[in-house]
Every structure is written in structure tokens, then in C-alpha cells.
Amino acid sequence: MTPRHRSIVAWIGAALGLAFLGYGLLVADTAQWRLHLLAGLWLLSLLPRTAIGQRAPLAAHGLSRLALVFGLGFLAVALQLAREQISQASAIHERAAALLQPATAQRPPSGGAPRSASLSSSCCSTESSGTAPRLRCRPSTSPAGPAAR
């Protein structure tokens, strides 16, 4: 294959890759999106790979390809971000909210009755002034607590 033919194939591949990625951003299914992402990035990489093979000096081939790998990786992250924050943001938001709802429903209401049974001994101290010892608790500093992590 002549260099001219390679360039033509690379340009066609880049156009197809852009089309794949653009269409993939609109696909709701995650597995299909990943397939589009992988195929699109591979097709898109044909153009810089051809350019590296034809123009870059032989000693710089390895470094240029390494830079290309990281560039494509960051492009994949940027596209994933674009999908999660722009094109499929509402769908992801709804799905995540539905998954989080049972967890938040099980959480006890804040500012309610004192929960002496669930408190650990580290946050409580007994005060013996008076006839009966009283339980004195200090509130936790983080509202979510370690369970959120």
C-alpha cells in the first residue's frame, strides 16, 4: 500500500471514528457505548499513527506512540465525562437516585430522639453528679458518618 493510499484510509477511518463516537454519546446502553468508544478511538487513531509513521523521525517513533496512547486515554476520559455530564446526565442521575433511594430511606432522621443504643462508647460519657448517672453525648462532626464512605 502506498503512503497516499494509507493517508486516504486513515482519513476515512478518522471520519468513521468521529461518527462512531458522536453516535455513541447518544446511546443509552453502557455496554454499547463502550463498544462505540473502543471502535471509535481505534479508528480515530489511524490518522496520527499514519502521520507518525510517515513524518516523525525513526528515533521519535516510540515516544510519539507513547504520547498518542496517553492522548487517546485522556480523550476517552473526556468523552466519558461528556456522556455522564451532558448527553446522558439526566438518565444517569435518575438511575443513580433510584439506587441511592433505599440507602437514604434506611438512614435515621437527623435531629430526632436520642439514640443511646446505637452510639459507641467513644462519643459518650457518664456523669455521676446527682442521684442517677446521666448519659452525655456529643454530636458527630460529620453528618454522614463513616457509613457514607
Partner 1 sequence: MVQALYALASGGVTGAGLGSGDPTMVPESHTDFMFTSIGEELGFVGALALLLCYVLFALRGYQIAQRARDGFQQLLAVGLTTAVVAQALIITAGTTNLIPLTGITLPFVSYGGSSTLINFAMVGMLLRISATQKSARVL
Which CB sits closer to partner 1, 67 or 137?
Answer: 67
DSSP state of 115: -
Which CB sits closer to partner 1, 130 or 146?
Answer: 146
- Least separation in angstroms between residue 24's CB and partner 1 is 13
- Alpha carbon separation from 97 to 28, 31, 46, 58, 102 (Å, rounded): 17, 21, 40, 52, 9
- Least separation in angstroms between residue 16's CB and partner 1 is 22
- Least separation in angstroms between residue 84's CB and partner 1 is 5
- Least separation in angstroms between residue 50's CB and partner 1 is 19
- Least separation in angstroms between residue 34's CB and partner 1 is 8
List the beta strands (DSSP E) in 65-113.
none
The cell for 5 is 493510499
CA distance 139 to 124: 9
Q: Which residues contact partner 1 by CB under 8 A? A: 60, 63-64, 66-67, 70-71, 73-74, 76-78, 80-82, 84-86, 89-90, 92-93, 96-97, 99-100, 142-144, 148-149
Which CB sits closer to partner 1, 30 or 54?
Answer: 30
Residues in contact with 126: Cβ distance below 8 Å, sequence separation at least 6, in sequence order: 133, 134, 135, 136
Which CB sits closer to partner 1, 126 or 142?
Answer: 142
CA distance 17 to 11: 10
Q: How far is CA 31 from its chain centroid?
A: 15
Which CB sits closer to partner 1, 15 or 81?
Answer: 81
